[in-house]
Chain A
């Protein structure tokens, strides 16, 4: 009983979100004229409180396991939770039903409930310490996002996207589950730290192949979540078909939570913290495997983005590529790597959300997602174009934007481990990516067209959010030491001990 009470004290962000979710459901079903405003308010309040609690959790440095080893609490997990809740809060704040043409006139209550649920389940996924909890949280995140993608019920594209998402997702996680069953059979336990101890003690030759099979099978589920090759096929269709605010949310939350669990699983279960760098357990070299996945992911993402004209698809391939860069942090298998992953994720949230906000606003005023309709925006909406320039430059990774900071960290981690070829390939990829990001900028600023269209009048709130995201992309570099100490403080990977 005391363990339960102690556990609940560390569980406050999730508890707040659960209460918020239940309140939203009740308020939405009670009805009334102010229902939409009320649900939105409850959602914002829950997310804000949860954010404060998550930040507190990291600052307190709490470590331990919760609920009989189902969840792990450590500063790294708390840092991920902060990023996740912040991303959710930002999306709900900046993308409203008013500034999204797609969502006009649709019921808000359900979407707010689903957003709260998505954030809640992502938090659980990022802290999962047991196979049962991991599978449950992963599937919950997926199942919550399927209806969100299909929110535009009357729209065929939205429906097709959510169908592809469901089938692909269910198949991938089912495969991952099969892998977990084999791991359970080998170790006799579903608790990930116990699995780690078992593997670290030595694996008989006969089991080597099985562990490799497990890694591949489990990678199906994880790869699907973060949209890594070859489990990325759902990504462009889903990003394009979903309402843009949902796309913005999905580009950040499941990806971040998925990367958190990839980090935990590979660092915490399939390797051991040595006296310096980490060592592999189970005698399988998953680092090489992940390196191949990472390279394929960034390359496929970047190359496919080169020819895209639909902004949502372009950003979809762009986020696939970024997952490849983010995996560099995992491949590096070191403290630097984990820190790099965290910093890059934080940067990624701001750059990606900013870009999607611009796309949403252009769609609101012009009704198009096609890049070929973007010329002349420099003249018609200079502030918007400037903000987009910030986001694009950040996505390329040019200093002084935070995208550069993120890339710097992961590249440093990889180079520090002596993986020169890998770093070179990644750098080449970044160069390829620069082409399509600059192309968007060029179309918006230099290309001729749309001279007859009137200037864009942006609402004050939209301008404010654009400014906020733009500043968030530019300013942090001046607080580099603050970011560094935050990341350093985060890096205590409890790993169930």
Chain B
């Protein structure tokens, strides 16, 4: 097995395995930390795919931002001494059947379809992404900043203690 293959399998197993823990674990805090491993695993896969900037962004924003937010969510919606933090799962059996079926369909689609066959030689991407942000993808870039402003206003407005007009 080549080094690349070994690294791929390592990251893939970590990613999918921890994703399973996220979805199946009875303890909420275990799910949250498993999600941490999932995000890191995905970042590793990005590096393997030659997306270095994206991997760094994944770690910074998904782990450093989104996961921290989710952990806050977990912590603030339980009493602090309630260490169990158990969550409940309903109708697991039928859910597993649906999900398994979905996986079979999607995986076989992935294997059987003829995808475009133009590979890209991996290399540093940051400069290219920067160029694209100010070139072809300028509008989405600006719209995304407006979106963040609006999300900030909306979230702050909801959480803030009531202030009258």
Indicate if A touches B (C-beta under 8 A): yes
Q: Quick check: is A140 within 8 A (CB to CB) of the other chain?
A: yes
Q: Quick check: is A105 within 8 A (CB to CB) of the other chain?
A: yes
Q: Quick check: is A9 within 8 A (CB to CB) of the other chain?
A: no
**A140 and B116 form a contact (CB under 8 A):** no
Which residues A95-121 have CB closer than 8 A to chain B?
Answer: 97, 105-108, 110, 113-114, 117, 120-121
Q: Chain A binding site: helix, strand, loop or mixed by DSSP?
A: helix
Separation of A4 and B140 alpha carbons in the complex (Å): 14
**B143 and A140 form a contact (CB under 8 A):** yes
Residues of A within 8 A of B165 (CB): 36, 97, 105-108
Q: Chain B binding site: helix, strand, loop or mixed by DSSP?
A: helix
Q: Quick check: is A182 within 8 A (CB to CB) of the other chain?
A: yes
We find that the number of chain B residues with CB closer than 8 angstroms to chain A is 31
**B116 and A187 form a contact (CB under 8 A):** yes
Segment among A66-74, A293-301, A418-426 that sits at the interface with chain B:
A66-74
| CB-CB nearest in chain A for B146 | A18
Q: Quick check: is B104 within 8 A (CB to CB) of the other chain?
A: no
Q: Quick check: is B123 within 8 A (CB to CB) of the other chain?
A: no
**A147 and B112 form a contact (CB under 8 A):** no
**B105 and A204 form a contact (CB under 8 A):** no
**B157 and A133 form a contact (CB under 8 A):** no
We find that the number of chain A residues with CB closer than 8 angstroms to chain B is 50
Separation of A182 and B109 alpha carbons in the complex (Å): 9
Q: Quick check: is B7 within 8 A (CB to CB) of the other chain?
A: no
Segment among B11-19, B46-54, B66-74, B131-139 that sits at the interface with chain A:
B131-139
Q: Quick check: is A276 within 8 A (CB to CB) of the other chain?
A: no
Segment among B26-34, B78-86, B148-156 that sits at the interface with chain A:
B148-156
Q: Quick check: is A146 within 8 A (CB to CB) of the other chain?
A: yes
Q: A18-B146, A107-B165, A124-B143 are in contact. Are A206 and B153 (CB under 8 A)?
A: no
| CB-CB nearest in chain B for A203 | B114
Q: Quick check: is A209 within 8 A (CB to CB) of the other chain?
A: yes
Q: A18-B146, A70-B139, A136-B147 are in contact. Are A210 and B113 (CB under 8 A)?
A: yes
Q: A114-B153, A140-B150, A154-B162 are in contact. Are A209 and B109 (CB under 8 A)?
A: yes
Interface set of A (CB-CB < 8 Å, partner B): 4, 18, 21, 25, 36, 66-71, 97, 105-108, 110, 113-114, 117, 120-121, 124, 132-133, 136-137, 139-140, 143-144, 146-148, 150-151, 153-154, 162, 182, 185-188, 204, 206-207, 209-210, 213
